[in-house]
């Protein structure tokens, strides 16, 4: 129910955005999120963009996982 | 880039599994509150990657499952009124009410539409000025802001035929209620998308007062394994606190726009939960300034005396006191194609998940 899927913003049209998940396009309401730009990834939930995906944070947490992997290999 | 593939890499997941086996000494139980987490944990077979001293327990985070008999009976009664269109998220229509279900009423010819977004319910109201559209508002803090946004839009457009029956709920009171009731857990895997809206301060009480570890987690297998590792580190070192694993989406302050819409449109009420009865301050009701959109203010219906399916222990499962395997009906008389209770109906219900991935 609280499922949200990352979607890539293609175009912003007022309070709505055209977004794509893989190749499939959807309309995402921007009534709950501002400062959205083409190229951003947003979390799409029940037709609404609810938050942006932060690439730096994503890379940071992945780095911690990779450190564990590297330590295990040593 | 959406990071889904990164967080599904087998090597990373197995590395965390090894690390957990190396550092986890205590016998611990962690509750994943969110039904989406339950589904992901079993879909990716994560319990088999954990050392035997770590136990995962499902919680009350499936909105369809926790919606009360009273709510369903009210929705069913509305569906029988003249000129009413019921607009609902999909899973709800199969849940048995006391004497019927929305599915049965749809078969009886009543106008019940399955929608994916509350915006479709708004559109139905615009296109059908002669009908009254009732949206069944279920879901937690993730979903409720969308309903709030729709109500504000309806007010702007001066729609007089759009109504919401709100069974929206908030997460912290039920988490607290479970702990106070005595469910034995050491930490929560906290819901990722609820927290994206609320921020993380809502969990401070649970960490400080109840000494529970809290880690807000994402929904991919490496997210969940990393969150479990963070919880184990907290618990092994005796320092429970609130941390966020799902940092790519969850900010400490949450989504301020969504929060302000929530508090503009809704106020807290004591609310009914399946299996938990009434929890103070756990539900969202529409504020008086928006009462024109409140289905409960507009329609008057009589509701049958609530009755529960015999033998179903969905309520105990939602409280973390039982698992589906403890139920005499599970996978015998109760299956996803012929479900007895709500926990088997929703795709993210604990029983439906256990059934789908049972060995």
**Do B34 and B90 fall into the same domain?**
yes
Which residue of B33, B142, B257 is the best one to mutate when testing the A interface, meaning the one whose CB has the most A CBs within 10 A?
B142
Sign of the alpha-carbon dihedral angle for A36, B220, B201, A68: negative
**Do B133 and B85 fall into the same domain?**
yes
**Do B323 and B177 fall into the same domain?**
no
User: B201: pLDDT confidence band, cut at 50, 70 and 90?
Assistant: very high
Question: In sequence order, which ranges of B157-287 are alpha helices (DSSP H)?
Answer: 171-181, 192-198, 204-208, 221-236, 256-265
Interface contact flag, B153 A31, Cβ < 8 Å: yes
With respect to residue B308, please indicate whether it lies within any of the assigned structural domains. no
Residue of A nearest to B8 (CA): A62
Whether residue A74 is predicted with pLDDT greater than 90 in this model: the reply is: no
**Do B142 and B272 fall into the same domain?**
yes
Helix (H, G, I), strand (E, B) or coil at B210: coil
**Do B258 and B331 fall into the same domain?**
no
Q: Distance (Å, rounded) from C-alpha A6 to C-alpha B4?
A: 8
With respect to residue B92, please indicate whether it lies within any of the assigned structural domains. yes
Whether residue B307 is predicted with pLDDT greater than 90 in this model: the reply is: no
DSSP per-residue string spanning B280-327: EEEEEEE-GGGGGGBHHHH-----PPP---TT--HHHHHTTS--GGG-
pLDDT tens track for A3-34: 899 999 999 999 999 999 988 999 999 999 99
**Do B213 and B343 fall into the same domain?**
no
Using a CB-CB cut-off of 8 Å, the residues of chain A touching B139 are 1-2, 46
Whether residue B120 is predicted with pLDDT greater than 90 in this model: the reply is: yes
Which residue of A65, A66, A70 is the best one to mutate when testing the B interface, meaning the one whose CB has the most B CBs within 10 A?
A65
Pair of tokens at residue A71: 């330590």
With respect to residue B8, please indicate whether it lies within any of the assigned structural domains. yes
Average pLDDT over residues B318-334: 93
Helix (H, G, I), strand (E, B) or coil at A67: helix
Name the architecture of domain A5-73: Roll (2.30)
**Do B333 and B193 fall into the same domain?**
no
Neighbours of B5 (CB within 10 A): 9
Q: Is B190 within 8 Å of B206 (Cβ atoms)?
A: no
Nearest to B197 among A3, A50, A64 (CB): A50
A23 touches chain B (CB under 8 A): no
**Do B83 and B4 fall into the same domain?**
yes
For residue B205, what are the CA distances in angstroms to B30, B37, B208, B209, B231?
Answer: 17, 22, 5, 5, 17
ipTM: 0.96
Whether residue B342 is predicted with pLDDT greater than 90 in this model: the reply is: no
The residue assigned the tokens 């049958």 is B304
**Do B151 and B211 fall into the same domain?**
yes
**Do B206 and B153 fall into the same domain?**
yes
Interface contact flag, A50 B250, Cβ < 8 Å: no
Contacts with B149 (C-beta within 8 Å, 6 or more apart), sequence order: A29, A31, A32, A48, B118, B261
State how many domains chain B has: 2
Using a CB-CB cut-off of 8 Å, the residues of chain A touching B19 are 68, 71-72
With respect to residue B137, please indicate whether it lies within any of the assigned structural domains. yes
The pLDDT assigned to B208 comes to 95
Whole domain around residue B325: which residue ranges? Answer: 314-356
Tell me the backbone φ, ψ of residue B334, rounded to 5 degrees.
-115, 110
Q: How many CB pairs under 8 A join A and B?
A: 139
Nearest to A53 among B2, B89, B257 (CB): B2
More confident residue, B305 or B287: B287
The pLDDT assigned to A1 comes to 76
Q: Distance (Å, rounded) from C-alpha B279 to C-alpha B72?
A: 18
Whether residue B275 is predicted with pLDDT greater than 90 in this model: the reply is: no
The residue assigned the tokens 């599994």 is B17
Using a CB-CB cut-off of 8 Å, the residues of chain A touching B89 are 1, 46
């Amino acid at each position: 129910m609280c499922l949200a899927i990352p979607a890539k913003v293609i175009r912003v049209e007022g309070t709505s955005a055209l977004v794509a998940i893989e190749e499939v396009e959807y309309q995402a309401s921007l009534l709950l999120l501002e400062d959205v730009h083409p190229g951003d990834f947003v979390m799409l939930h029940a037709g609404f963009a609810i938050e942006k995906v932060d690439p730096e944070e994503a890379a940071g947490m992945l780095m911690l996982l990779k450190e564990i992997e590297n330590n295990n290999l040593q | 880039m959406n990071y889904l593939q990164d967080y599904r890499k087998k090597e990373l997941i197995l590395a965390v599994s090894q690390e957990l086996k190396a550092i986890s000494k205590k016998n611990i139980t962690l509750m994943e509150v969110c039904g989406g987490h339950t589904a992901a944990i079993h879909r990716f077979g994560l319990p088999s990657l954990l050392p035997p001293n770590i136990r995962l327990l499902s919680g009350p985070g499936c909105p369809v499952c926790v919606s009360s008999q009273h709510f369903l009976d009210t929705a069913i009664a509305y569906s029988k009124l003249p000129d009413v269109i019921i607009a609902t998220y999909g899973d709800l229509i199969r849940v048995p009410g006391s004497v019927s279900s929305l599915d049965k009423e749809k078969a009886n010819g009543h106008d019940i539409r399955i929608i994916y977004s509350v915006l479709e319910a708004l559109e139905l109201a615009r296109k059908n000025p002669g009908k009254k559209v009732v949206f069944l508002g279920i879901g937690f803090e993730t979903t409720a802001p969308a309903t709030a946004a729709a109500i504000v839009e309806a007010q702007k457009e001066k729609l007089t035929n759009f109504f919401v029956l709100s069974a929206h709920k908030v997460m912290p009171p039920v988490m607290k209620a479970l702990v106070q009731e005595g469910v034995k857990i050491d930490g929560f895997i906290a819901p990722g998308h609820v927290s994206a809206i609320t921020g993380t301060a809502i969990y401070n009480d649970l960490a400080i007062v109840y000494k529970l570890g809290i880690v807000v987690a994402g929904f991919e297998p490496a997210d969940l394994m990393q969150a479990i590792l963070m919880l184990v580190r907290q618990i092994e070192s005796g320092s429970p606190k609130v941390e966020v694993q799902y940092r790519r989406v969850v900010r400490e302050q949450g989504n301020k726009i969504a929060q302000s819409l929530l508090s503009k449109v809704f106020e807290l009420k004591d609310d009914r939960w399946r299996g938990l009865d009434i929890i103070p301050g756990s539900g969202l009701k529409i504020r008086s300034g928006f009462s024109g959109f409140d289905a409960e203010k507009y329609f008057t219906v009589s509701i049958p005396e609530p009755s529960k399916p015999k033998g179903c222990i969905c309520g105990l499962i939602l409280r973390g006191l039982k698992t589906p395997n403890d139920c005499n009906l599970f996978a015998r008389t109760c299956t996803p194609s012929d479900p007895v209770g709500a926990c088997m109906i929703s795709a993210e219900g604990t029983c439906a998940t256990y059934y789908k991935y049972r060995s």
